[in-house]
Amino acid sequence: MSVEQEQTERTIRCLVAKVGLDGHDRGAHVIARALRDAGFEVIYSGLHRAPDEVVQAAVQEDVDVVGISILSGAHNTLVPKILDGLKEYDAFDDRLILVGGIVPDDDKDELRNLGVDEIFGPGASMEEMIEYIHEHAPER
């Protein structure tokens, strides 16, 4: 695929964010690279970000996709804070919110109710995620 063809479509921007006390970023790196190779622009947050930092990045970078990686089990605390922040800055409606990590089934519904669009757990393939983003990236 040539760059020329690629540019006829809008470039999709994704934030890959690591939140809270969770030092495991290997998965986030793999995802960042795969999204880059799929032609997306990836903004990587770095480790140990606070929810308001993720909000700041998502708003300022005007990303289409907010990907939150949490392996620590603190998703019920951290994800709602991020969602609230996005709403506060009027940056929630036109953004795809994805959560990656280990989320028990019981929590998944709760997160979806709060406004998370999709949750990718262990075993999810990159192709699946990229296809999902292509299909669901918000119209702007």
Partner 1 sequence: MSDLVEDLLAGKHSALARVITQIENRSPGYREIISDLHQHTGTADVIGVTGSPGAGKSTLVDKVAATYREQGLTVGVIAIDPSSPFSGGAVLGDRIRMASNAGDMDMFFRSMSARGSLGGLSTATTDAVTALDAFGKDKIIVETVGAGQNEVDIVRTADTVAVLVPPGSGDDVQMLKAGILEIGDVFVVNKADLDGADRTVQQLREMLQGRSGRPETGHHGATELAGHAESDDPHDDDAESESWNPPIVETVANRGEGVEDFLETLADHGEYLDRTGRREGQARERFAAEIRTLLREDANELLADELDRRGGIDSYVDAVIERHTDPYTVVDEILTPLRDCLDERRDEA
Q: In this structure, are residues 60 and 102 in contact, taking their beta carbons and an 8 Å threshold?
A: no
In degrees and rounded to multiples of 5, residue 50 shows phi and psi of -85, 155
Alpha-carbon distances of 35 from 41, 78, 93, 113, 128, rounded to whole Å: 8, 24, 22, 26, 12
In which element (H, E) is residue 12 found?
A: none
Please report how close the Cβ of residue 127 comes to partner 1 at its closest, in angstroms.
15
Nearer to partner 1, 46 or 121 (CB): 46
Nearer to partner 1, 60 or 77 (CB): 60
Nearer to partner 1, 49 or 75 (CB): 49
Contacting positions for partner 1 (CB under 8 A) = 1, 3-4, 6-7, 10-11, 13, 32-33, 35-46, 49-50, 52-53, 55-57, 59-62, 89-91, 140
